[in-house]
Amino acid sequence: QLNLCGIVGPALAAVVLSHYGASWIFTANAACFLLVVAAIAQWKRQERQTKLPLENFIESFAGAIRYVRYAPGIQVVLARNLLFSLFISVIPALLPVIGLKEVLMNSADLGLLFTSMGVGSVCGAIVVIPWARARFSPNALIILASVLLAMVFVLMAVVRAIPVFMMVAGLAGVSWTMAASELWVAGQRAMPPWARGRMNATHIMLSQGGLALGGLVWGGAAASLGVNFALLAAAALLLSSLALAFPLSIDFTGQMNFDPAPPATIYHAMLHAPRPEDGPVAITIDFQISPVNRAQFLELMRGVRLMHLRNGAFSWRLDEDLSECHFFRLEMLVASWSEHLLQHERITQEEQSNFEKAWSLDIRPDGPEVKHFISVNKELLGGKRVVPCEPPPAGQGRPLRKESVDAERLV
């Protein structure tokens, strides 16, 4: 849709500009945005049914930062996306300058120039990308798109015939669409469903930020050292940056599995069910590990640490008991009880499999021991009682309470 609009929009703008002037273009553009606002106002979004409290803006924003920090896969995709945005920003930053000042185009020609780039994008999406995906890996496709873009920069520095220059702009559209589509697909593969909205926003934010920063850099270089120097420097730096394409390959995203783990109802000894807003919550898990499995256990806990931190914990540690051989205690802190329940909802099959491997290494018949703690600092500071804890009746042990994302107490 964007590529088709990139064809029609500049062509219409060129016609309107040549006959009626620039003021009518901006007036029509503003009117079109009013139609978009009206359409959004009438949109009735069907919300996903859940028994858990919804996150507010601050919690959602913090969750996005936390996930990016502790998810190495999405970090690679975002880094490649930012790097490509810095170089592709040469096109929107310098193309009008080259067209008007170097190729000596008029306003109608400039509109057709952007139309040519839109045509190239559509051809790339319909013809080039399906053909290339059948023969090359995603990482190889981005490398090919980058090489093509470097060639476009060089051609823009030397070509001055208007028809040929428009063909070069079409090649720019092909390279832009090839790389952007592969990076977008890789991003979708590298993020779980529950984080997709906020990760897509992060992806777009980095793209726009790269375009803005790159435009400032290349525009300054063109103003100080000349347009041709800026184009040739961009081509050289782009080719040099391809050395990062191998250590930061995105091919791994095709093997990532974010299928949600089956809902699990877990029973723990708890005297009362915390309220959703109660917290912070401390969760401890005690492991007794055989000496021969110590190295394997610690290696598995690397993945467990990242799983807990990106899914909701704001603190995580693993300690070894000095008084008991090979006794380990995992301790993590979560902001609230509802956030802890969301952790269970967010676990994927791959994460669950890794955690179950670590769980199975415990040598005790009953397995690891799990405990939950609620902060009572509010009581210490003179506030109301936050933990209505009552001892069990005489002769009875601690009751088992269900910890589940489907718990009816949250309705």
pLDDT tens for the chain, 411 residues: list them: 445 565 566 667 666 766 777 777 778 778 888 888 888 888 776 666 655 667 777 888 888 899 999 999 999 999 999 999 999 999 999 999 999 999 999 878 888 888 889 888 888 888 999 999 999 999 999 999 999 999 999 999 999 999 999 999 999 999 999 999 999 999 999 998 888 888 999 999 999 999 999 999 999 999 999 999 999 999 999 999 999 999 999 999 988 888 888 765 555 666 677 888 887 999 999 999 999 999 999 999 999 999 999 998 999 999 999 888 789 999 999 998 888 888 888 898 889 999 999 999 999 998 999 999 988 877 777 666 655 555 555 555 454 444 544 433 332
pLDDT of residue 38: 84
Report the distance separating Cα 109 and Cα 122, nearest Å.
20
pLDDT of residue 341: 86
Tokens found for residue 32: 């079109």
User: Residues 6 or more apart from 408 whose CB is under 8 A from it?
Assistant: 51
Which string of DSSP letters, residue by residue, matches 103-136? S---HHHHHHHHHHHHHHHHHIIIIIHHHHHTTS
Report the distance separating Cα 188 and Cα 124, nearest Å.
20
pLDDT of residue 84: 96
Outline where 192-346 has alpha helix (H): 196-225, 227-241, 294-311, 337-346
Phi-psi domain of 10 (left: phi exceeds 0; alpha: psi -120 through 50; beta: other): alpha
123 within 8 A of 170, measured Cβ to Cβ:
yes
- Its pTM stands at 0.81
Report the distance separating Cα 316 and Cα 318, nearest Å.
7
pLDDT of residue 28: 79
Tokens found for residue 72: 């190495």
Quick count: other Cβ atoms within 10 Å of Cβ 357?
15
Report the distance separating Cα 260 and Cα 256, nearest Å.
12
* Domains within the chain, CATH numbers bracketed: 59-255 (1.20.1250.20), 266-384+398-410 (3.30.70.100)
Query: In the chain, what is the straight-line distance between the N-terminal and C-terminal CA atoms, in Å?
Result: 41
156 within 8 A of 92, measured Cβ to Cβ:
no
